[in-house]
């Protein structure tokens, strides 16, 4: 075992301010670590040094850390480019201080490798090194590993509290330019609020899940509620994009063991993790968990190698032909494409697999139907109508795949809120029956 890396490690340790001064140049494209692995101290240093730089561009999906780079006073230094809005970046986007790059999650790494969004600097958060000098990307590999491999300069927060997680999830000390040592708890998220409606929707989803199936679960309360309805299943597997507390609970109680998985049997495969402190501790040196770059986990060809892959995601609106808007309402961008289409396509390739889009039938205290005759002006289609399979609301489940557009419309009315069915039926009569 070589320990030469230890001297190299020590020589690279600097303050965050020093790291930014050494590493960043005017005009640089900077990729920031994702979600709960936000490299806060480095971004704060960039904020403190804002007068010293110009024409910087940052890129990230979710950023759950302190949004220093999104502050109004950073506007003359940094232009933030974002691929998935969260509560802070939504404000910056609406105030025209940030811009949005559309891209499927599994293709984000190729933005960097193709030079479409070049990476000069990667600011990341990783674990402490193991005995061979490898650090783990811990809870967030997604696009971060590829960005670090691609960057001229890698500035890494080495956080004592970042779990060491395996898979294709390591970076050697030699590949880091500067190290900023930190010791702070990871950003933890409260559990999703699950009410009666979510549980009803989840129960329709759970009816499709058999013993031995492999699951992908998306973002929001409904996927977590589905897990609560699977307590009597066995040999479930996980091949997902995002890993949350619900998966941990079922893994601990034995329903999830990956015993029948056709790809990575016995392993939980994911690309990032968001949840409680307990979840992060569960992951540390847990050899049943493997984290890979999103270009692998979300590649529809990889997803499809899992037999009986059931993908469960949510959306904001569906039109009567089955087009899906999941990331924006009209021209108001709410989130991003994420891996939704990656998994819709992967599930279609999976032998015996299927995909589900599950959502409440209404929004805003039942004043708006989420099943609509057609989208409003300026809406973005996240998933085209050829991608869609099952649609589930609290009123039931319909399978659109294989149905004509007229049959789809009629099926969708049956799962719309009763209050909006006359309006939808009138739209069908006009559009499909010439009345
Ligand atoms: N019109 C107006 N408002 C709407 C609406 C509509 N059609 N549909 C939803 N809303 C509102 C809701 O009322 C809610 O408002 P509130 O926050 O004031 O309560 C808000 O929009 C969010 O809706 P909700 O259904 O609670 O969202 P969620 O947290 O369950 O997330 C998505 C749903 C679709 C936004 C989320 O799943 C997403 O971003 N998906 C795209 C990416 C993806 O699927 N990735 C997959 C792998 S992780």
Model confidence pLDDT, tens digit, residues 346-379: 999 999 999 999 999 999 999 999 999 999 999 9
Q: Which residue is closest in CA terms to ligand 1's atom 4?
A: 363
Q: pLDDT for 215-228, tens place per residue?
A: 999 888 899 999 99
Q: What is the mean pLDDT of residues 404-429?
A: 98
**Model pLDDT for residues 95-151, shown as the tens digit of each residue:** 999 999 999 999 999 999 999 999 999 999 999 999 999 999 999 999 999 999 999
Helix, strand, coil percent content, the chain, rounded in steps of 5? 30, 25, 45
Q: Is the pLDDT of residue 2 over 70?
A: no
Residue 305 C-alpha to ligand 1 middle, in angstroms?
29
* Contact assessment for residue 247 and residue 273, using Cβ atoms and an 8 Å cutoff: no
Question: Which of 113, 116, 120, 148 is CA-nearest to residue 134?
Answer: 148
User: And the tokens for 291?
Assistant: 């984290």
Which amino acid residue places its CA nearest to atom 14 of ligand 1?
Answer: 363
- Taking alpha carbons only, the member of 104, 176, 177 closest to residue 143 is 104
Q: In percent, how much of the chain has pLDDT > 70? A: 100
Measured in Å, residue 87 CA sits from the centre of ligand 1 at 12
**Are 54 and 60 in contact, with CB atoms under 8 Å apart?**
no
- Per-residue pLDDT, 219: 83
Q: Is the CB of 142 under 6 A from ligand 1?
A: no
**C-beta of 316 in contact with ligand 1 (< 6 A):** yes
pLDDT beyond 90 at 159 = yes
Distances 87 to 65, 143, 185, 214, 315 between C-alpha atoms, Å: 11, 21, 21, 31, 17
Domains, the chain? 3-182 (3.40.1080.10), 196-433 (3.40.1080.20)
Tell me how far CA of residue 92 lies from CA of 76, 77, 261, 327, 404, in angstroms: 14, 14, 42, 16, 41
364, 369, 391, 420: residue to mutate for ligand 1 pocket, most atoms within 8 A of CB: 364
327 is catalytic: no
Pocket perturbation via mutation, ligand 1, pick of 82, 316, 358 by most ligand atoms within 8 A of CB: 316
Are 190 and 164 in contact by the 8 Å Cβ rule? The answer is no
**Dist. CA 282–CA 197, nearest whole Å:** 30
Which of 243, 245, 241, 205 minimizes the C-alpha distance to 222?
Answer: 205
Q: Would you say residue 423 has pLDDT above 90? A: yes
Q: What is the pLDDT of residue 4?
A: 82
Q: Global pTM?
A: 0.97
- Please pick, among 107, 157, 198, 241, the residue that the annotation labels catalytic: 241
pLDDT of 118 reads: 98
In short, whether 197's Cβ falls inside 6 Å of ligand 1 is: no
Of all protein residues, the one whose alpha carbon is nearest to atom 22 of ligand 1 is: 316
Residues 396-406: pLDDT tens digits? Answer: 999 999 999 99
The whole-number pLDDT of residue 435 equals 85
To which residue do tokens 């600011």 refer? 123
């Amino acid at each position: 075992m070589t320990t030469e890396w230890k001297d190299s490690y020590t020589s690279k340790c600097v303050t965050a301010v020093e790291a930014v001064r050494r590493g960043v140049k005017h005009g640089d494209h900077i990729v920031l670590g994702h979600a709960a692995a936000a490299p806060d101290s480095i971004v704060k240093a960039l904020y403190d040094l804002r007068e010293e730089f110009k024409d910087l561009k940052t890129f990230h999906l979710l950023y759950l850390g302190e949004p220093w780079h999104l502050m109004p006073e950073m506007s003359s230094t940094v232009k933030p480019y974002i691929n998935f809005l969260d509560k802070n970046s939504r404000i910056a986007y609406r105030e025209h201080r940030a811009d949005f790059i559309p891209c499927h999650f599994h293709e984000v790494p190729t933005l960097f490798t193709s030079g479409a969004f070049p990476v000069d600097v990667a600011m990341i958060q990783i674990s402490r090194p193991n005995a061979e000098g490898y650090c783990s990307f811990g809870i967030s590999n997604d696009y971060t590993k590829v960005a670090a491999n691609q960057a001229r300069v890698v500035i890494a927060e080495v956080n004592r509290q970042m779990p060491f997680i395996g898979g294709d999830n390591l970076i050697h000390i030699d590949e880091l330019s500067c190290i900023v040592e930190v010791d702070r708890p990871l950003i933890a998220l409260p559990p999703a609020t699950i009410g009666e409606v979510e549980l009803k929707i989840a129960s329709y989803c759970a009816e499709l899940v058999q013993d031995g199936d492999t699951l992908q679960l998306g973002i929001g309360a409904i996927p977590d509620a589905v897990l609560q309805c699977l307590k009597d299943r066995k040999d479930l597997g996980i091949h997902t994009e995002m890993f949350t507390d619900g998966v941990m609970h079922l893994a601990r109680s034995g329903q999830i063991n990956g015993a029948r998985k056709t790809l990575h049997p016995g392993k939980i495969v994911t690309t990032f993790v968001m949840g409680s402190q307990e979840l992060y501790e569960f992951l540390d040196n847990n050899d049943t968990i493997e984290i890979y770059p999103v270009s692998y986990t979300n590649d529809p060809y990889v997803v499809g190698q899992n037999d009986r892959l059931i993908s469960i995601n949510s959306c904001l609106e569906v039109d009567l032909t089955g087009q899906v808007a999941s990331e924006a309402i009209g021209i108001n961008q709410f989130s991003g494409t994420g891996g939704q289409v990656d998994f819709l396509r992967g599930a279609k390739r999976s032998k015996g697999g299927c995909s589900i889009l599950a959502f409440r039938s209404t929004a805003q205290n039942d004043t708006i139907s989420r099943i609509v005759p057609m989208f409003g002006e300026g809406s973005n289609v996240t998933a085209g109508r050829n991608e869609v399979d099952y649609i589930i609301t609290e009123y039931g489940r319909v399978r659109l795949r294989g149905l004509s557009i007229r049959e789809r419309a009629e099926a969708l009315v049956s799962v719309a809120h009763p209050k909006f069915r006359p309006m939808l039926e009138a739209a069908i009569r006009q559009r499909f029956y010439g009345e």
